[in-house]
Structure 1
């Protein structure tokens, strides 16, 4: 005999199940709302850098407010004191000393275009007169796709707190582990193409938002080091127990060497094209791709934004049109001279739209402009200290994974010693390079000099100051 449930009883069961589900969802929503409120309260007490810097004070009466967004290039790394925003502010004040000027640098080192858009969305209501955006070097720094959903989640304090906790637990900062393997990208992969699509989408979203709000937007192309920065090897060199640098990128490495050959033969136009292809095929694309800068130019034209073509400007000032260490100190961060050129182009862009007058007494030559800026803003001891710091930070950055650019690192450490021959870190890192490359006697002499300057024994575990000293000492002991 088959039993059946009366229709009325089945309907009641369905209603009870729906009620339970509704109550569970309501409870979950209330719990999430409570956690979000708690996260916001905690964030007000201890905000992270990105959140804290988007809390802008009220605009002063009559002030001209500039907001800038991007990653470490906009932040001014490696030395913010002479970054292009610092130089821009100096020359803007020279042009209008009587005008109150507010420049807020909202850039976050390592931040992608999604982070820039998030910061712009949080701050555009704070009465800016000009928005400045330079982004593109960090789109492939993180393996996740930072699309619309990710950006919307960033507006949640609870999600931001979860990201901070996860970052501390699983994502040590760049350089804290000198052997950490970065993500490499196949140009035909769905992830690579999706990230490129998101970048273009973010640019258009920023431009559309600025247009709706009636705020002038300045978009900059992202320049990078073509001639003096080879594609990343992504694996440690043989001296550190890995494959020779460059073996992870045979096609990009071959293009880079071909470009050098063409440059040596004075065929500079062909060399530049090959250098650009080598950069665009770098398996660790921590330099803005050609298609990214095309997207910047196209977006600026579509939305009538101010285009500051920093890539073209640096190319025009580079010897033979090949941007190298004279203008970019590593893979993507401008030298003081490169920063001066970008600041100059920004001033021209603002003046062309009549947003700010050009300084009357400013020298046309970027080297002269830089000299005026440095002499007026820094004392000789301050400048010397910053130059020494610049050499150490850039040299250390160059020697780390995924670059392992030991030649560039040595150049900067030696330049730093010419400025300050008492800095033990410079001797210690030069010793590491010498020992890893098999020059033991030179390495021993440099280690002795480092110990004398430090006033005691060196700590091989100090990865922040001497990333590969431990391996260098082990290599020396094994000989």
Structure 2
């Protein structure tokens, strides 16, 4: 019995079923169904049926035969032998091979999807493109609206007309999403276009690398720059400090590409104290996990404003369900307290080991990227207050004694004159301190092994401090609190990095060491005045009168209960506790000193401003006025010439700060 067109179409669509099943569905004889299915199989198995004319003819003849049986009562046949009522899927053109591609189910090579398949593909393409286009336009809109502001590592201030570059004060917004106030880098400037005789070094790290609590002229990077300028007079020496407080090696890794874009000759790293509690660290309030590779991937993604929008939304949503008590408000807590999530990380614990792996993994990734561009990396060993700082957190462990017990034994050994034993015990007490604000000794082992295995340079900062400390044990003679150096300490750091460069033959650059001045000259050239020391003192007071130095701050203590002691102290207090800027205070104080006839003290303030802001003409003029009042024209002339050059150059600026 001939099969109807409807039956054929059903068979073609359901060929995966058995012939008997299809016959039952259509109420047909299974032999007829099986016969038609065999014909379909034979027609599709023809070798290259669509690519040769012969194959096409055989295929069309087979189809024509089937159509003739099915439509014997029709009014006529087409010229090809195919019924005029044939399903359009088989084609209706001439029998030439050129039309063979129209058989959608013929299996011929080169056939494309039929109209139904094309429509389906278009539908799915449109459906997939809708979310993609949504996020593309969302990203463009967020960038156009400047969501989160400029987060680049460097900016090009209009005042410099594109000639000079400056670290971006807001770049740390990339990393801090659970705190409301973020640390900022220095205002070191450098040329947008590096000259052929340029020697450019970037300094990266945490608060110690940034010179806390001094900042400005108290950084070790400026000590190193002073020395390099003297021994390399034919070079344009640029030492740019990009370090900021509360960051760790995750942040440093994120900076690498932007640093490389400015063609550094060397990188100086001093980082590790913040490895646990710095942004994204394993013990930090800003943490994302303990897998360094995952966190580094996150750092790449957070360059997208859409990603940051989602991140900020998650943070705000989380904050709704975990509100902070009023007494823990970010406005009154120190940065140290705000970044801590894990207050106890015992020695050899899982979290302790994760911190070590984090440091090793990130430093390895950092050095590989720099070394791939032939940029050497100098990494300093980490130093801290051993003798005069009691452990923050003492815990009892099965395999280690409590930190405070070991610290007491160290004090007794020192009192008995056993310096070697005391040093060993003080170091052990630091390593046992479960509140990880001071890097453990194991971190220096990681740094040493990494630099040796990668051909980079180990800078013996800790060793330099030990050699220059009283009793050979670091204490308040070189430290201000638990780990930040005093002025003498930062000077020693600068000499350590300079000597590491010297021992590396200044990376092949010509240097005249006979021009190097006695080290004490460079200590004086830091131009740190009484006012600067008072600023540092007030910052340390803010820090040490809060957790973890005290368990419960005294509400009537510092700063509320503090009594000001003179103009320098009053101005310093305002710089730390009010919006008064450091440079504004120095100008005001310098002028008061000048009016009081205290010219040498006034010059100290002005030379400090010149050292910090060499592109600002104002302090040159202020200093020159004092020399002119003394009829010291030889000293005034170079200052006035410098001011004139700045006033007429593209990179001079006629205000007192970029901040």
Say yes or no: TM over 0.5: yes
Deviation at 1:299, TM superposition (A): 0.8
Is the contact made by 1:399 and 1:405 (CA closer than 8 Å) also made in structure 2?
no
Cα 1:350–1:188 shift into 2, 3 Å? closer
Q: Which residue of 2 aligns with 1:183?
A: 342
Moved more, 74-83 or 51-60: 51-60
- Among 75, 82, 85, the residue aligned to 2:218: 82
- Among 148, 154, 157, the residue aligned to 2:293: 148
Q: Deviations over 1:169-201 (max 9, x none)?
A: 969997732676752224454333222211101
User: Can you give the 5+ residue segments of structure 1 that lack an aligned partner in the other structure?
Assistant: 10-14, 234-245, 430-479
Is the contact made by 2:205 and 2:271 (CA closer than 8 Å) also made in structure 1?
yes
Is the contact made by 1:154 and 1:160 (CA closer than 8 Å) also made in structure 2?
no
Query: C-alpha distance in 2, partners of 1:415/1:215?
Result: 51
SS in 1 for 2:204: strand
Q: Which residue of 1 aligns with 2:532?
A: 386
Q: Which residue of 2 aligns with 1:60?
A: 194
Taking structure 1 as the reference length, the TM-score comes to 0.71
Q: Which residue of 2 aligns with 1:220?
A: 380
Q: Which residue of 1 aligns with 2:362?
A: 202
Aligned residue runs from structure 1 range 20-419, under 5 A: 26-42=129-145, 46-48=149-151, 53=167, 58-62=192-196, 63-80=198-215, 81-141=217-277, 142-143=284-285, 144=287, 145=289, 147-155=292-300, 156-158=303-305, 159-160=307-308, 176-177=332-333, 182-184=341-343, 185-233=345-393, 251-355=402-506, 357=511, 359-362=513-516, 368-374=520-526, 377=527, 383-404=529-550, 417=565
Q: Which residue of 1 aligns with 2:79?
A: none
Q: Deviations over 1:252-282 (max 9, x none)?
A: 1222222112111111111111111221122
Compare relative contact order (CA 8 Å, sep 6+) and give the higher one, 1 or 2: 1
Larger radius of gyration, structure 1 or 2?
Answer: 2
Q: Which residue of 1 aligns with 2:20?
A: none
Taking structure 2 as the reference length, the TM-score comes to 0.53
Is the contact made by 2:254 and 2:299 (CA closer than 8 Å) also made in structure 1?
yes
Cα 1:16–1:285 shift into 2, 3 Å? farther
Cα 1:394–1:207 shift into 2, 3 Å? same
Q: Deviations over 1:405-464 (max 9, x none)?
A: 999x99xx99995995657969xx9xxxxxxxxxxxxxxxxxxxxxxxxxxxxxxxxxxx
User: Can you give the 5+ residue segments of structure 2 that lack an aligned partner in the other structure?
Assistant: 1-12, 18-117, 156-166, 172-189, 278-283, 578-659
Q: Deviations over 1:283-316 (max 9, x none)?
A: 2101111111111111111111121111111111
Deviation at 1:58, TM superposition (A): 3.2
The Cα RMSD (Å) is 4.0
Deviation at 1:336, TM superposition (A): 1.1
More helix by share: 1
Query: C-alpha distance in 2, partners of 1:400/1:297?
Result: 34
Is the contact made by 1:391 and 1:415 (CA closer than 8 Å) also made in structure 2?
no
Q: Deviations over 1:340-364 (max 9, x none)?
A: 1111111111112222637535455
Query: C-alpha distance in 2, partners of 1:50/1:163?
Result: 20
Cα 1:6–1:302 shift into 2, 3 Å? same
